[in-house]
Structure 1
Amino acid sequence: EADYRALHALVREKPLGALLARDATFVPPVRTGHALETSSVLGPFLGLSCFPSDRRVPEACFPSFSAPDVEGGTSSLRLSLQVVHMALKSIATELLKNAEAKEHFFRLVAAACSLNMQRAQQYFPHAETQRLVYALEPNREEAPQLPVSTSSDGFMINLGAALLQLCEPFTAPGSPHAAKIDSTYLLSTHRLNLDKETRLCATADDVMYWLDPRNPDLRRRYLDRLAAEAVEPDPEGTPPLEVSASFGTVTEYFFLTMRVLHVGLLSSFTLYHQLAQQHHRWRTELELREAELTRMRGLGGAIPVAASALLETMEAET
């Protein structure tokens, strides 16, 4: 906590905050999310987490797995994370209030999104689960085939938590700030390049037509698609959609937060689900082994030699 207070005191002084943000280590020129987390000056502050990627945290917080210790450790972690999230929000607020630091902070968030695209891919939770389980039980899993290249779950979740708090003023129903959100942000490459993302409500042809509605070929393809779906088209002569050249702070907050949650929190939820399934399988296997051990012990001297050796092995593993 003292480290966060010290950083907050530093960035609260605008000249020092600007100096920190302009430093090369604030948004280091790296190629992977893992390198961003380990190289950025804010990496250690954003990376603090109770996720099992760092074994020291559960070992320190859960001295035993008795119900009282687990409940007490969980409550302590929740309170600690709340303190961390509040501190990160305060630090981010000071940086964003500083005209010379705001742009650099947005660049850091955009880099966290762009360099962690692998987290949004379907295979990521499976590969990450394998890596985490291998770290805990090397005998149960094969060694990971690829080195770590993405930021940790803690880094992405903490960043998302800080950004969500910054979005609170315009997430309330009827907030006048919400009207400032510029939807053309998604069509620009101002911070993020989303050209390869799957469009759920529009095709690539639709977007091209909206940008150039006077093009007859684009309009024909647009009308053909709408006719096939029995949808009423826009009237002819609709002015083209103009993508803004610059975007306000509210728009930056909204879309960067959405992207951080997409590549961070959603994949963490899937990872947690995978770990829960793994835990369920192990628990079932343990119960079956315990039942078999009880049965074999009940046989007493009637256990064959082979079964006796198996019994010793199962007792050692259990």
Structure 2
Amino acid sequence: MSQTTHNVQPVLAPIGKEGFGELVSSRYAVRVGDVDVLLISDGVLPLPTSTMSTNVSEADRNEWFDNRFLQRDMFDWALNIALIRSGDKLILVDSGVGDGFEYFTRAGQSVMRLETAGIDLRAITDIVVTHMHMDHVGGLNNDGVKAKLRPDVRIHVAAAEVEFWKNPDFSKTVMPETVPPALRKAAAKFVELYGEHIVPFDKTVEVAPGVSARVTGGHTPGHCVVDVASNGEKLTFAGDAIFEVGFEHPEWQNGFEHDPEGAVDVRIQLFEEAARTGSMLAAAHVAFPSIGHVARTDTGYRFVPVQWDY
């Protein structure tokens, strides 16, 4: 009996094959009053766990990571950006790490994911940079990105942040030795590329109806958060003011903070604000989609992620 050979197609396309969607969701949308907010994952950054708790014992740090079934030495740090539509304004908040760092091969996806989501970069009217670390300006530094943006795009950065990166102080940070030079390089390239588009602000700036940025300092001198408020609802994109370990241990310092003690105060203020008002929080380095509420506990705070609306 002869056998007939059939060309059977796989049920799932090969992962990463061009033309097929990603198997894991990388964007999540919420509506805050009349304002649309889209959170997008730039990927993950593999980092030493010690950077998340530079002022505590190794035993305490190991206990926290063990309780989450995570490795004790290295972990994947989420990296998220946001896109906000308010009226006729389309606002990008941060841009991810970009493609200029060979040791961050699992991040740098933001620009691609914006485009695959049907977002024309030329439609972006404003950009808010929460701070000028490489994982927040790197996507804008990618080759060809500037040419895709509109020639009158406005980039809102705190004046204190721009000034700081002219001669940055790393004396209070605890980073892998390869990081400070990369941070300097990325910040300098960003200013070189976009200096004419930067619109500096002092304390707060209204970017669009219901969308404003406010300087908190702490993580960097000009670090800012973005508040979205409409029809009695509110969401704050907290940039790098908040990390997952900070909910239970807001006093634990992060090695990337240029003012660690000030950053603790900022964290607690944001947690208290969210717990008091019931507003939502999102952040660059909280597990995607990073949106949730904050509840007080006897010893600190608890993050309550939103239930996904499919």
Give the TM-score normalised by the residue count of structure 2: 0.24
Higher helix fraction (1 or 2) = 1
Higher strand share: 2
TM-score (norm 1): 0.23
- Structure of greater Rg: 1
